[in-house]
Amino acid sequence: MMQKNQNYKYNEKYIGIILSAGKSTRLKKNLKITSKNLVKIKKGKDSLEYNLQKLEKAEITNIYINTHQYHKKFISRIKNRFSKSNKISLINEKKILGTAGGVFNICKKFPNFENVIVLYGDNISNINLKRVIKIYENKNSKFSIVVHKLNDFKSSGVVKFNKNNEITSFNEKLNIVAKKYNWVNAGIYIINKNIIENFKVSNCDFAKDIIPFLLKKNKNKIYAIKTTMRVFAIDDVDLLNKTKREINF
């Protein structure tokens, strides 16, 4: 664990987690890279920097980044990024735990929080997290997922919800030809501590395991928070090149 500043302002209501433990397999087939989260996108910024800045704008002062085989690269990257207002910690997973497993692992190690904001490290957007938090709190939600409209959704989680924005179904990576725009997972969650503490599993995914389980149980409502902001992905070479061409912030 790395602490950048011992005099940080501690915010115990929210912590931020950037999921960065993936192997970047699809990109590595074509490019000589380590983690896709460290690939430069625009003006020297990588997706890690975009997500760090998003959390900082929301005044999230405790930020955790999970890593795997490229842990030393992340150490080097964070050493070059000093922030007087934040504590940035790296949590290395010897074995990949999945998106939810990675979050549960961090929350177990650092239990002093009320809510966690989860960002998928390979998604880039200019979404205002302060607005997202406000909607989450106004709904008195325990679990909210930010969603955006997308036509080519074969590689995304398609989200259906009712007029109250309560999610009714979540289907991960349907791999079908799109006939119309759909609301899809933007890779941003806000989750209350009470939800997280109910799960003792150590290896699982939100999209494949946790969200379908919660919807099936129908015990805790999951809300969709809609955004019109564009979400850029860097999963493969085509998406990375498109993001580099079209990102404007």
Q: What is the CATH number of the domain that holds 130?
A: 3.90.550.10
**How many whole angstroms separate alpha carbon 151 and alpha carbon 132?**
23
In a domain, 209, yes or no: no
In a domain, 232, yes or no: yes
> Which has more pLDDT, 25 or 109?
109
Q: What is the pLDDT of residue 84?
A: 62
Mean pLDDT value across the chain: 88
In a domain, 197, yes or no: yes
Q: Phi and psi at residue 113, in whole multiples of 5°?
A: -155, 165
Average pLDDT estimate for 77-88: 79
| pLDDT bucket at 5, cuts 50 / 70 / 90 | very low
In a domain, 156, yes or no: no
Q: Is residue 4's pLDDT more than 50?
A: no
Domain count, the chain: 1
Return the ∠ at Cα 185 (arms to 249 and 126), rounded to 5°. Answer: 15
Q: Is residue 211's pLDDT more than 90?
A: yes
In a domain, 171, yes or no: no
**How many whole angstroms separate alpha carbon 11 and alpha carbon 136?**
17
Q: Is residue 7's pLDDT more than 60?
A: no
In a domain, 36, yes or no: yes
In this predicted model, what pLDDT tens digit does every residue of 179-207 receive, in sequence order?
567 899 999 999 999 999 989 888 999 99
Q: Is residue 78's pLDDT more than 80?
A: yes
> Which has more pLDDT, 85 or 63?
63
The answer to whether the beta carbons of residues 85 and 36 sit under 8 Å apart is no
Radius of gyration of the chain (CA): 17
Q: What is the pLDDT of residue 128?
A: 97
In a domain, 115, yes or no: yes
Domain containing residue 79: 14-148+186-201+222-246
Q: Which of 1, 4, 16, 48 is nearest to 189 (CA)?
A: 16
Q: Is residue 25's pLDDT more than 80?
A: no
- This prediction's pTM: 0.90
Q: Is residue 239's pLDDT more than 80?
A: yes
> Which has more pLDDT, 184 or 22?
184
In this predicted model, what pLDDT tens digit does every residue of 127-174 receive, in sequence order?
999 999 999 999 999 999 999 998 765 567 799 999 999 999 998 765
Q: What is the pLDDT of residue 118?
A: 98
Q: Is residue 18's pLDDT more than 80?
A: yes
Q: Is residue 121's pLDDT more than 80?
A: yes
Q: What is the pLDDT of residue 80?
A: 79
In a domain, 172, yes or no: no
Q: What is the pLDDT of residue 83?
A: 66
